[in-house]
Amino acid sequence: GENVEQHPSTLSVQEGDSAVIKCTYSDSASNYFPWYKQELGKRPQLIIDIRSNVGEKKDQRIAVTLNKTAKHFSLHITETQPEDSAVYFCAAEWGNTPLVFGKGTRLSVIA
């Protein structure tokens, strides 16, 4: 089955700096890669996703890149703000199979 590795587990950045979180996946058939943001005690919220036919996708300060050959994808947050502090999860899936999540990255943006 699919296995998703996520790094780093914790990340602290100064406000205004960029944050990068990286994930690798094992199943080359996976074709959908979402990123979720989860604040303490709340449900995960989709912030951006990318499909395997695209190499990069951007939405304002958030971008995701995908390297299918290397089987890794990354989340980039620019101009970080304190409200970006949360736990971020990457995930991967193929077809209608359940999402497999990475272990999460706790991002702290220091004002």
Among 42, 60, 69, 111, binds another protein (CB under 8 A): 42
Residue 104 lies near another protein (rule: CB under 8 A): yes
Please give the C-alpha separations between residue 38 and each of 15, 45, 73, 101, in angstroms, as whole numbers: 19, 6, 19, 13
Contact flag: residue 75 with another protein (CB under 8 A) = no
Amino acid identity, residue 80? T
Using CB under 8 A, which of 84, 102, 107, 109 touches another protein?
102
44 binds another protein (CB under 8 A): yes
Count of residues touching another protein (by CB under 8 A): 22
